């Protein structure tokens, strides 16, 4: 009887940049984990990295020979579980750009959904919404000048609505400014107008008849002068 040796199991290195005996580096194993939606392998690999900072650096800078980041590899296959795990990592970059199309992972996820059956849309839409809520930008254009929403299959109206909702929120972010910050801005139009109003109030004479109102007017006038 001929003896056939069994291939040994892969053992994880203590140093994230050393190679396995089989010749696969930790970067190659990370790519494989993201392609296969293998959260157990991804977890084991991350546990071998000495610090969260080193883990973030590894996750953000590992790319395939085609120029895809780990996030692109997972998103282009609709690998929900691995993406969920990646997004939980401190310092993880939500919008890396790949080399060929200039796509973000959000672009990649939409390309994947477009190629799936209608039965997969609910799952795919939930995946995109998770990515958006985690910080993926709906406003980045790829090399073709297209934002993610412009890639959506016209038959998938629900996905378009999901992205447009987040796009609207992104466009309006930062429109509301604290009134106190506006009023104290040096040289600002509002600050200048505020000063004019105060000067007008300073020069104005009290025209009311109520003694308590006059007392309050006098108090405010003294406070502005002090």
Note the pLDDT tens digit of each residue in 116-136.
999 999 999 999 999 999 999
DSSP SS3 for 85: helix
Is 35 within the bounds of a domain? yes
Q: How far apart are CA 130 and CA 109, in angstroms?
A: 11
> Predicted confidence band at 214 (pLDDT cuts at 50, 70, 90)?
low
Whether 187 shows a pLDDT value over 50: the answer reads no
Task: Print the SS3 string covering 116-162.
Answer: CCHHHHHHHHHHHHHHHHCCCCCCCCCCCCCCHHHHCCCCCHHHHHH
Average pLDDT, the chain: 79
Is 12 within the bounds of a domain? no
Q: Which helix (H) or strand (E) holds 179?
A: helix 179-183
- Helices within 179-225 (DSSP H only): 179-183, 189-203, 211-225
Over range 99-106, report the average pLDDT. 97
Is 94 within the bounds of a domain? yes
Specify whether 89 is located in the same domain as 152. Answer: yes
Whether 13 shows a pLDDT value over 50: the answer reads no
> Predicted confidence band at 171 (pLDDT cuts at 50, 70, 90)?
confident
Q: Which of 67-76, 157-166, 187-196 has the lowest mean pLDDT?
A: 187-196
Q: How far apart are CA 177 and CA 16, in angstroms?
A: 45
Q: How far apart are CA 145 and CA 66, in angstroms?
A: 20
Over range 170-179, report the average pLDDT. 54
Helix axes 105-114, 121-133, angle to 10 degrees: 170
Counted domains in the chain: 2
Q: How far apart are CA 168 and CA 211, in angstroms?
A: 52
Q: Among residues 136, 155, 172, which one ends one of the domains?
A: 172
Q: Answer positive or negative: Cα dihedral of 12, 15, 17, 18.
A: negative
Is 103 within the bounds of a domain? yes
Specify whether 118 is located in the same domain as 194. Answer: no
> Predicted confidence band at 210 (pLDDT cuts at 50, 70, 90)?
low
Specify whether 160 is located in the same domain as 183. Answer: no
Over range 46-70, report the average pLDDT. 96
Percent of the chain exceeding pLDDT 90 equals 63
Q: Are 120 and 113 in contact (CB under 8 A)?
A: yes
Is 13 within the bounds of a domain? no
Query: Domain residues for 194?
Result: 179-225
Specify whether 213 is located in the same domain as 144. Answer: no
Q: Which residues contact 125 (CB under 8 A, 6 or more apart)?
A: 113, 156, 158, 159, 162
Over range 6-14, report the average pLDDT. 34
201's tokens? 């109030």
Q: Which CATH number characterizes residue 65's domain? A: 1.25.40.20
Q: How far apart are CA 27 and CA 65, in angstroms?
A: 12
> Predicted confidence band at 175 (pLDDT cuts at 50, 70, 90)?
very low
Is 11 within the bounds of a domain? no
């Amino acid at each position: 009887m001929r003896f056939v040796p069994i291939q040994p199991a892969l053992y994880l290195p203590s140093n994230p940049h050393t190679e396995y005996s089989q010749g696969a580096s930790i970067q190659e194993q990370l790519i494989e984990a993201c392609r296969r939606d293998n959260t157990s392998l991804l977890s084991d690999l991350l546990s071998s990295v000495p610090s969260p900072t080193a883990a973030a650096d590894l996750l953000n800078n590992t790319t395939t020979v085609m120029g895809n980041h780990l996030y692109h590899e997972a998103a282009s296959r609709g690998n929900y579980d691995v993406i969920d795990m990646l997004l939980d990592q401190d310092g993880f970059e939500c919008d890396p750009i790949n080399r060929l199309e200039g796509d973000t992972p959000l672009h990649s996820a939409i390309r994947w959904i477009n190629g799936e059956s209608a039965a997969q849309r609910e799952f795919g839409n939930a995946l995109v919404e998770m990515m958006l809520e985690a910080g993926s930008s709906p406003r980045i254009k790829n090399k073709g000048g297209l934002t993610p929403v412009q890639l959506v299959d016209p038959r998938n109206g629900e996905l378009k609505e999901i992205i447009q909702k987040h796009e609207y929120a992104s466009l309006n972010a930062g429109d509301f400014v604290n009134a106190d910050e506006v009023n104290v801005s040096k040289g600002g139009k509002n600050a200048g107008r505020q000063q004019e109003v105060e000067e007008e109030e300073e020069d104005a004479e009290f025209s009311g008849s109520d003694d308590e109102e006059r007392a309050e007017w006098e108090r405010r006038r003294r406070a502005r002068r002090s």
